[in-house]
Amino acid sequence: MELNPAFATNSDKFARAAGDEDEHETQAKVTKPPATVVDKSGDVILTLGDVSLLVSSKVLSVASPVFRAMFGPHFQEGNMLSKSNPTAPAVIPLTDDEPLAMTILCQILHHQNEVSNEVFVAKNIPGLRNLATVSDKYNCVGAVSFATNTWIQALEPFEAQASQHDLFHLLEVAYILDHPVQFERVSKRILMNDVGGILERMIGWTTDDILPIKVYGELEKRRRNIYTELFKGLQDPIANLVGKNEYEPTKTLQDKQYGCLNHTWDKFNLHDALQISAYLRELKRVNLWPFDPQKQKLDSLIQAFNNFEHRDISRFLGFGIFPKFTNCQACILDTRSQLANLMEKIRKGGRGLCLDCIDKGRRGGDEVKCRVKHD
């Protein structure tokens, strides 16, 4: 991977791993890009493919126990013996690490935040994820937390437009960096954005299993609960009317001639029929009917609920109802407020995951210890 030009420094700052190479090696070195100077008086050059970084082993050792072990007494001894020029920086290949992430990590640890800040403003979600991964591997998540928090905050405005794939990357970041607020916020967004099933989507995405499997399981469980609740909740406002077994016919000849409605509590009547029809037509108008969880995001469903109006089509069809009869279920029906209650339930059910509960398997009263509030 090419080193981001943002990190290239002036030529006078370039360091060379000179000293112990023979002529042949020195010639080969000419064609290689110079090391990026993270510390001018650094004693180690980390090489990652075409990228090489001149760094201080002391600085890295203070920040990371992994580097401390790497640069321990055995390293110093071996270094002195193996080189003809003991003052030249030792070259250490780090073949498994992502070059840009390691560059940023070293810059942060060497207090060169003004350089790494340049990438924070970009919508670079994979970049942040790689930095989180490499910080975790070198056990220095705490040492870079100010920088990673800044990056997380810089990305927050872009979360609304992020794909589900990128949102899962952000969730991985929150998990690695132990960031409960971001973890809750991003997992809620994943829930609200999802169409058709979280488990189906994760197949083929995760190659490094950063998130515990129960994160996916818990998200999918919540998604299904919400849709089950929705499916039932959408039927509730008219369930009583549809469920009536006996009919109440329009009785008098005069009522039939003048199209008067009849109103009864427990028998199915003309007003019930009109209300059912009005309700279904309004659901259709706001795209809630037919209800298909495979095609609709929770976000768009909530929007649809906001547009829902309680309509009484009796008037449009030529029936005047005044005053309302308190002994008629159709007269007292208020579908809008019933759906508003349902939406409130969805909002609650759609809250994000608690990182502490995921990590510690908390339930019941123990949740008061969690860093994010549970309600």
- Which residues sit at the interface with Zn ion, rule CB under 5 A? 263, 271, 328, 330-331, 354, 356-357, 367, 370
137 contacts: CB under 8 Å, gap ≥ 6: 66, 97
In whole angstroms, how close is the CB of 285 to Zn ion at the nearest point?
A: 22
CA angle 218, 224, 230 (to 5 degrees): 135
59 contacts: CB under 8 Å, gap ≥ 6: 39, 109, 110
Shorter beta-carbon distance to Zn ion: residue 12 or 322: 322
In whole angstroms, how close is the CB of 268 to Zn ion at the nearest point?
A: 12
In whole angstroms, how close is the CB of 101 to Zn ion at the nearest point?
A: 30
Query: CA 55 → CA 15, 22, 74, 160, distances in Å?
Result: 10, 23, 19, 38
C-alpha–C-alpha distance, residues 291 and 289, integer Å? 5
Shorter beta-carbon distance to Zn ion: residue 71 or 175: 175
Shorter beta-carbon distance to Zn ion: residue 59 or 355: 355
In whole angstroms, how close is the CB of 219 to Zn ion at the nearest point?
A: 15
Which pair of tokens denotes residue 172?
A: 């991985």
Burial code (b: 16+ CB inside 10 Å, e: under 16) for 287-300 equals: bbeeeebeebebbe
Looking at residue 289, the DSSP 8-state letter turns out to be S
In whole angstroms, how close is the CB of 183 to Zn ion at the nearest point?
A: 10
Shorter beta-carbon distance to Zn ion: residue 157 or 318: 318
In whole angstroms, how close is the CB of 353 to Zn ion at the nearest point?
A: 9
In whole angstroms, how close is the CB of 263 to Zn ion at the nearest point?
A: 4
Shorter beta-carbon distance to Zn ion: residue 220 or 356: 356
| Pairing relationship of beta strands 44-48 and 90-93 according to DSSP bridges | parallel
Shorter beta-carbon distance to Zn ion: residue 232 or 374: 374
Which pair of tokens denotes residue 227?
A: 């849709």
Shorter beta-carbon distance to Zn ion: residue 98 or 312: 312
Backbone angle region of 124, left / alpha / beta, with phi > 0 → left and psi within -120 to 50 → alpha: beta
- Residue 197's H or E segment, with its range, is none
